[in-house]
Amino acid sequence: GHLSLEIAVRIVCGISEALVAVHAHDIIHRDIKPDNIFLVEGREQYSDWVRLMDFGIARVMSPGATQVTSDGSRLGSMPWIAPEQIELDGPELDLRGDIYGTCSVLYEALTGQPPFGTDSVAKIVARKTKSETPPSMRTIRPEIPEALDSVVLCALARDRNLRYATMTEFAQALQDAMS
């Protein structure tokens, strides 16, 4: 199933607030996925309501920093990672991968499926590395506002240079789309 627009956006605003703080310390999470997001009942502020967990493959963003995990991979969890995390010889990873992961979670929360489905890893890799963007959320759920769909598709661009530059910029676009 899927979540209501209000709840899904509220969760993603909480993730965004957490990642703004993480990125301010030059850290990228690299594994944003539903299993790493915990919700706390009875809280009003997004930052009090949403907890981002599991920084096991997080890395410091600095020139020459190791881009791979101890087992030699760059991967997070396939349905939610950015295309550039798939290629071992790809560009240095940066915070735009976390924006992609956050928006993948939003896409799934609103449609009930990750942006490129839940098929085999090989099929997901092919779609992520060959497609420009996933299908519009409105093809799955027509009541999603066009402005919100546009924000999500921008944040899920295959070319990270076409995504929002910062989590703050993404969060502002998300809030603007919902107002």
Active-site residues: which are they? 31
Q: Please give the Cα distance from 127 to 145 (Å, whole number).
A: 25
